Amino acid sequence: MHKKTASYDATAALCMVVFAMSCTTRYFYVANASDPAPLQDFCVAVDHPSPHTGIPTFINGKFCKNPKEVVINDFLYKGFNIPGDTNNTQRAKVTALDINRFPALNTLGVSMARVDFAPFGLNTPHSHPRASEVTAVIEGSLYAGFITTDNRLFDTVLNKGDVMVFPQGLIHFQLNLGKKTALAIAAFGSQDPGRVDVAESVFGSRPNILDEVLTKAYQVDDKIVEKLRAQFSSHNVSVDTGRSILKLFAQASSDDCGY
Ligand SMILES: *[C@@H]1O[C@H](CO)[C@@H](O)[C@H](O)[C@H]1NC(C)=O
């Protein structure tokens, strides 16, 4: 009698597991039935691809190569070791290894970037609308931070080997605290995380955002708005590291420290 009950219990337990699994599968199915996450800024629908204009139509993402024609080289990218050119106003260069540079990433939801910093170089405040970011400092020391939707700043000094998360869509930045070059490697949960540079979006849009919007938004006169625009029309970004930078040097690795 006892044995029979045990056997019955085991069968019942198995049934429950199978039932639970089928429920889980069903939940996944429901999730998949919702709108897919955007893989680019927008994808305006058309009724038919136009065969006449010669202009290709796009999908949410990119077209897929015929799997029979795919070869190993399609999955490889070479040259990620090559530093970006930091000879610019910000003294930093982001080399994004996203879908636009690495077609193998299509539909896979991941991408990378390397960020090269000249001494005191700045990766300007920006956000990625489609991805969270995990960044590892490979060389040097960076002052890094992000700002939450309720304007709370989380900031710190990252030394070699430190890894920091930047949540999806939140504005963040990294500043090289050293007199030597620095290198960070970033990973993203999107094939095309996108990048919105805060100042450049607002003051460097084409065409310009109307003066009335910006003077009111920032509570300054239009001369100041013009001055700010002038910084971005030529894609110059001024770097104002401020007085408090001296305090940060104390937190940087001594051999990377500027002064
Ligand atoms: C950096 O850029 C400036 C302006 O474009 C140029 O004059 C200068 O030669 C460049 N320096 C190096 C080391 O490439």
Question: How far does residue 81's CA lie from ligand 1's centre (Å)?
Answer: 22
Looking at this protein, which amino acid is placed at residue 85? D
Q: Is the distance from CB of 193 to CB of 111 less than 8 angstroms? A: yes
Cα–ligand 1 centroid distance for 93 (angstroms): 14
Distance 87 CA to ligand 1 centre (A): 6
The alpha carbon dihedral of 233, 237, 242, 244 has a sign of: positive
* Residue 12 pLDDT > 80: no
pTM summary value: 0.76
Q: What is the pLDDT of residue 40?
A: 86
pLDDT of 124 reads 97
- Work out the end-to-end distance of the chain between its first and last CA atoms, rounded to an integer number of angstroms: 83
Gap from CA of 94 to ligand 1 centroid (Å): 18
Which contiguous run of DSSP H or E holds residue 173? strand 171-176
139 CA to middle of ligand 1, Å? 24
Q: What is the CATH number of domain 84-256?
A: 2.60.120.10
Domain positions in the chain are 84-256
Q: Which one is predicted more confidently, 233 or 191?
A: 191
Distance 236 CA to ligand 1 centre (A): 14
Summarised one tens digit per residue, pLDDT across range 158-212 is: 999 999 999 999 999 999 998 999 999 999 999 999 999 999 999 998 888 888 8
Going from the Cα of 95 to the center of ligand 1, the distance in angstroms, rounded, reads 19
The β-bridge relationship of strands 133-139 and 111-117 is unpaired
The Å distance, Cα 89 to ligand 1 centre, comes to 11
